Every structure is written in structure tokens, then in C-alpha cells.
Amino acid sequence: MNIINDTPQSYAIGIDIGGTSLKCGVVNELGEILFSFLVSLSEAKTEEEIINLIVNAITQCTDQLGEPITGIGIGFPGLIENDVIVGGGVNLPGFEQLPLGKILNDLTGHNIVIDNDANLMGLAEVMYGAAKDSDDAIFLTIGTGIGGAIMIDKKLFGGYKNRGAELGHTVIQQNGIQCACGGRGCLESYASVTALIKYYKSQNTSAEDNIDGKTIIEKYLAGEDHAIKTMQHHFDYLAGGIVNCVNIFSPQKVIIGGGISEAGQFYIDELTQRVKETAIPVSFSNTEIVAATLGNKAGLLGACANAFQKFKKTEYAV
């Protein structure tokens, strides 16, 4: 069977929307970014103004590319169902029960697909990054909170109506610490960078107020007792969350993203050792824990990968 692509080269526009800016760019199907740029959202005070900035960015991309596009993928920091922003856009005005996909399709005439930004970061790592040789993978981004994504057969799995894959809110301590989601004992409450800093300050009452995760890791590598205890606590709880993912999904790769994943190979090694000791051996037998490789390009690349998966037409000829 020969696969004949409908065009020699396909392009998609990706838009990664954050709380203060959006990144927009054009990507080809190989995951090569032809160009990208940032648009500040600091002056946009309304939902309509942000939508106008998105439309303008799309127009700038199509004008600069001068070629047909397969579609437009958008990553948004919230809960998305069938290209409708259900809610959760942190620091963004409005965006509650908003059919953003239809609005942008009406305004631009292009195919639009929208998903959660953490989901798309995970998809990017499977299609173009740390897990591109894998079909089934779990992605965890460790930052202020913990975002997650599940990829099965190289496609995002979000549960019914895209309401699942909240890996940061798996409960690892019954009746534990109060979480921002309203629950208690969530992985995020114990293993996020926010939790790391909070625990360090509880151990070292003379810690500077503005200490961050990078500084704690530096202190850990330098052998400071408080930092060692803090990082051991962090590794233990994060590994516990990963064990749950491994025992349920037995993925080929568990990808760790977020700035803390760039700390060094020791970070991945510490997690691997703990997960190997605790996970069901047969479930972990084909799993590798790896650091994400795409950094701040992941959101843009994942948005485009999502557009290619949804809109790219392929003809099959025997």
C-alpha cells in the first residue's frame, strides 16, 4: 500500500496562548518552525480585544507564508470541549463557555482546533521531541502546578468530553493538603514547584522570601541539609504519582517537563530509581522516564501537531 499525500508540503499555524502573551508561528509536518513571534496581551482588557489579536496574528502568518495551510491549532490554559472554552483561562478576561473555535473559523475561514496547553505540550514531545519513537506516553509538566497529558497511539486522550487527564490531581494522600482544585491530597499539592518551595521554607525558617526552585536545586547539589531533605520529599511524592500512571497505563515513556526537568540527569535518575522500586515490575518493564526536550517550543509545536492530526487528508492507493 502506498500513501500519497495530498500536497508536497503541509503547513499549520500554531498559537500558544498564555496569561500575558501569545506565541504564534508556522510549522511544517516535520515539526520545523518556519517562523514565530510573540504578541503581548498586556494591553488587551477584554475578550474581544484578545480575539482580535489572535486574528491579526493569524493574518500575519498567512501573509508571511504565502502558501495554503492545513489548519490552525490553538493551545489554551483551560478546560476545552469541542473547541469551546468551558473555563479556566487564568489571567484572561472572559473566556467562559465561549465557542472560540467557531468564532475564529467565522472570522478567518480556516479550520480551527483547540485543546488544553499542557495536553499539546505532551503531544509535541510525542510527535517531535523526547518520545517521538513511542506511541503511548504520559507527560507531566512540573511548575506552579502540575499539568498532565495522556497519549495513546500518538493521539491525545482526554476522557469523556475532554474532562479527564488531570494527572496533577490524582490523590496521593487521603485527606491530605488542601489543593487549589478544591480537593485534598493531590499530587500537585505535594510535588509541584510551589509545593517544593513551601516545604523548603517549612524546613528552613531563615530562607529568603523569594527563593525559587532553581536555587533550592543549587543548594541540594551543594549539599545543604534543608535542600537535601526537601528534594528527597519532592522525589518521593512525584515518583508516587508516576507509579500510579505506570501501573494504570504502562506507557513507553513518561516525559517530565517544566523548568525543573532541566536540572540535570540526576533529577530523572532519582525518579527512575524510586519508580522502579515501587511500580508493578511488568508494568514498568517497557517504560523509560525522560526529560522533555522541546522547552518553550512545545506549546506551539503541539498546537500544530493537533491541527495536522485533525485536518491533514491522506489518500491511500493500493
Three-class secondary structure assignment of 239-277: HHHHHHHHHHHCCCEEEEECHHHHHCHHHHHHHHHHHHH
In a domain, 125, yes or no: no
| Residue 1 in this model has a pLDDT that exceeds 50 | no
In a domain, 126, yes or no: no
Is residue 255 located within the same domain as residue 310?
A: no
Is residue 104 located within the same domain as residue 188?
A: no
Q: What is the pLDDT of residues 188-216, one digit of tens each?
A: 999 999 999 999 999 999 989 999 999 99
Residues 6+ apart with CB under 8 A from 243: 275, 278, 279
Is residue 269 located within the same domain as residue 154?
A: yes
Is residue 64 located within the same domain as residue 161?
A: no
Provide the residue range defining the domain that includes 218: 134-293
Read off the pLDDT band of 8 (50, 70, 90). Answer: low
- Which pLDDT belongs to residue 3? 45
Q: What is the pLDDT of residues 48-94, one digit of tens each?
A: 999 999 999 999 999 999 999 999 999 998 899 999 999 876 678 88
Is residue 204 located within the same domain as residue 286?
A: yes
The CATH number of residue 30's host domain is 3.30.420.40
Amino acid at 113: V
Is residue 22 located within the same domain as residue 88?
A: yes
In a domain, 87, yes or no: yes
- Which pLDDT belongs to residue 131? 95
In a domain, 127, yes or no: no
Is residue 146 located within the same domain as residue 277?
A: yes
Q: pLDDT higher for 88 or 218? A: 218
How far, in Å, CA of 50 to CA of 25, rounded?
A: 17
| Residue 261 in this model has a pLDDT that exceeds 90 | no
Is residue 183 located within the same domain as residue 252?
A: yes
> For the packed helices 225-249 and 265-278, what is the interaxial angle rounded to 10 degrees?
50
In a domain, 203, yes or no: yes
| Residue 313 in this model has a pLDDT that exceeds 80 | no
What average pLDDT is seen over the chain? 92
Give the pTM.
Answer: 0.89
Cβ atoms of 207 and 197 within 8 Å: the answer is no
Q: How many CB atoms lie within 10 A of CB 116?
A: 24
- If one counts the domains in the chain, the total is 2
In a domain, 129, yes or no: no
Is residue 91 located within the same domain as residue 23?
A: yes
Is residue 85 located within the same domain as residue 173?
A: no
Strand order in the sheet with 71-76: 33-40, 21-28, 11-17, 71-76, 112-116
Cβ atoms of 40 and 27 within 8 Å: the answer is no
pLDDT (mean) for 123-136: 96
Is residue 64 located within the same domain as residue 142?
A: no
Amino acid at 267: Y
Is residue 281 located within the same domain as residue 175?
A: yes
